[in-house]
């Protein structure tokens, strides 16, 4: 291509990108507001900037090693033999799709929405929220610190990826991920707009040193607020469908009051909630539900917790799984203390990390990072390989 034509093409692409930004709501976060902690690392890529900052962040997330491991991470159900129940990789796509549809109607920045959505659960551990509870308990005993998947998601992207250098994502994306807490339902979500890197890093550190600190956080952008509520929208109806599929509940068990207002299928529940948000949040500096929808959603969320997430059938293996986490944690800790280079923690994790990571992290923190990044299958196989007797469930090799 002729250099002049080449430049004209890229100039036109940049103009079109700017044109799309101009039609966004005055409450949206424009792509040129994206703030990186190390702007010097972007200079080569910025020579021809055909990808806006948040679009680029979404690309980096989906090409990350953490993202590839979504494929075999539990969403809500583990140890059920059913190939059609939701895994984490599907959940984040549901969140992204739902939030982008609503965001487009509200004239918000879809690139920012997508990046936050796809990255928000990267810190989830084997066995989902149950595994998260076990690791939090163990890490607190070993290091007097706390664990939550929100902060671990940020840690993966900011400190672990790229051999310990991180991906240099924008503040707005990392903040949306840190503040995404999908277990807390509110009627109205308004951003905390006066954040900078100093406040974000202070909040991030407190997530490790203060119990439940992440539950106090609010995103700095309206896009982050939208992803936070869409996390609930994406899982509440889908978890009901999965629970019906594995025979934990029956559709008739759904509370009549909630079903009357929201519907009793995932498709209708999503549509009802999305339309309510659009109608109550259009051209507003907040994301809000109507009173009736909020009450019904709160009732349905309570139903899910009592009948699905805390269902005795689902929790029958809790003690065994917690013991698996403890045994592996102790094993890897011993391997670090004895510098057992044959251990998988060296082969599959530490050998790819830089010296700075090794120098700046305690042994319990390194073990935490390794286990938190595992898929369910890898975790199970590690337990079989290193903890169970070789003859357990297998023939002894001659």
pLDDT at position 82 is 44
Whether 297 and 273 have beta carbons less than 8 Å apart is answered as yes
pLDDT at position 9 is 81
Q: What is the 3-state secondary structure (H, E, C) of the chain?
A: CCHHHHHHHHHHHHHHHHHHHHCCCCCCCCHHHCCECCHHHHCCHHHHCCCCHHHHHHHHHHCCHHHHHHHHCECCCCCCCCCCCCEHHHHHHHHHHHHHHHHHHCCCCHHHHHHHHHHCCCCCCCCHHHHHHHHHHHHHHHHCCCCCHHHHHHHHHHHHCHHHCCCCCEHHHHHHHHCCCCCCCCCEECCCCCCCHHHHHHHHHHHHHCCCHHHHCCCCCHHHHHHHHHHHHHHHHHHHHHHHHCCCCCHHHCCHHHHHHHCCCHHHHHHHHHHHHHHHHCCCCCEECCHHHHHHHHHHHHHHHHHHHCCCCCCCCHHHHHHHHHHHHHHHHHHHHCCCCCCHHHHCCHHHCCHHHHHHCCHHHHHHHHHHCCCHHHHHHHHHHHCCCCCCCCCCCC
Ramachandran angles phi, psi of 288, nearest 5°? -145, 145
Q: What is the pTM of this model?
A: 0.91
pLDDT at position 17 is 80
pLDDT at position 219 is 97
Distance (Å) of CA 290 to CA 107, 276, 346:
20, 7, 52
Ramachandran angles phi, psi of 74, nearest 5°? -60, 140
Residue with tokens 């251990």: 343
pLDDT at position 43 is 65
Question: In order along the chain (398 residues), what is the average pLDDT of each group of 10 residues?
Answer: 63 82 94 90 63 94 90 56 57 94 98 97 88 95 96 97 95 97 86 95 97 94 97 93 88 96 97 98 98 98 91 76 94 96 95 93 97 90 79 41
pLDDT at position 74 is 61
Residue with tokens 């986490």: 325
pLDDT at position 336 is 97
Both tokens of 287, joined, read: 């994301």
Ramachandran angles phi, psi of 234, nearest 5°? -70, -30
Whether 387 and 327 have beta carbons less than 8 Å apart is answered as yes
| Spatial CA neighbour of 306 closest among 260, 253, 259, 267 | 253
pLDDT at position 113 is 98
- Residues 6 or more apart whose CB falls under 8 angstroms from that of 62 comprise 118
pLDDT at position 396 is 34
What's the burial of 338, exposed, middle or buried (CB within 10 Å: 0-12/13-18/19+)?
A: exposed
Structural domains of the chain sorted by starting position, each given as residue range(s) with its CATH number in brackets: 20-44+52-309 (1.10.3210.10), 319-386 (no CATH)
């Amino acid at each position: 291509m002729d250099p002049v034509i080449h430049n004209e093409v890229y100039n036109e692409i940049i103009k079109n990108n700017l044109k799309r930004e101009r039609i966004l709501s005055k409450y949206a976060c424009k792509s040129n507001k994206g703030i990186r902690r190390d702007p010097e690392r972007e200079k080569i890529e910025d020579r021809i900037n055909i990808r806006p900052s948040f679009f680029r962040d979404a690309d980096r997330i989906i090409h990350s090693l953490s993202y590839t491991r979504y494929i075999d991470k539990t969403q809500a159900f583990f140890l059920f033999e059913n190939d059609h129940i939701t895994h984490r990789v599907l959940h984040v796509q549901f969140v992204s799709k739902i939030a982008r549809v609503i965001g487009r109607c509200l004239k918000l920045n879809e690139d920012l929405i997508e990046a936050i959505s796809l990255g928000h659960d990267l810190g989830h551990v084997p066995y989902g929220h149950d595994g998260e509870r076990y690791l939090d308990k163990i890490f607190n005993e070993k290091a007097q610190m706390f664990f939550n998947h929100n902060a671990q998601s940020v840690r993966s992207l900011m400190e672990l990826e790229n051999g310990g250098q991180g991906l240099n994502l924008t503040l707005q994306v990392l903040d949306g991920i840190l503040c995404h807490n999908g277990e807390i339902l509110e009627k109205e979500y308004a951003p905390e707009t006066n954040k900078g890197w100093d406040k974000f890093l202070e909040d991030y550190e407190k997530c490790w040193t203060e119990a439940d600190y992440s539950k106090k956080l609010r995103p700095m952008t309206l896009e982050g607020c939208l992803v936070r509520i869409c996390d609930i929208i994406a899982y509440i109806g889908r978890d009901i469908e999965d629970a019906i599929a594995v025979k934990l509940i029956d559709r008739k068990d759904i509370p009549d009051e909630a079903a009357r207002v929201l519907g009793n299928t995932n498709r209708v529940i999503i549509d009802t909630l999305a339309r309510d948000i659009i109608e109550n949040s259009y051209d507003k500096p907040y994301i809000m539900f109507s009173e009736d929808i909020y009450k019904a959603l709160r009732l349905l969320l309570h139903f899910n917790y009592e009948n699905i997430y805390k269902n005795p059938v689902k929790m029958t293996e809790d003690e065994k799984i917690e013991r698996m986490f403890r045994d592996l944690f102790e094993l890897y800790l011993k391997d670090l203390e004895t510098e057992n280079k044959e251990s998988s923690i060296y082969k599959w994790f530490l050998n790819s990390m830089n010296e700075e990571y090794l120098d700046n992290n305690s042994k319990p923190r390194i073990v935490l990072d390794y286990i938190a990044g595992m898929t369910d299958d890898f975790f199970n196989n590690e337990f079989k390989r290193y903890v169970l007797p070789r003859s357990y469930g297998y023939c002894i090799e001659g």
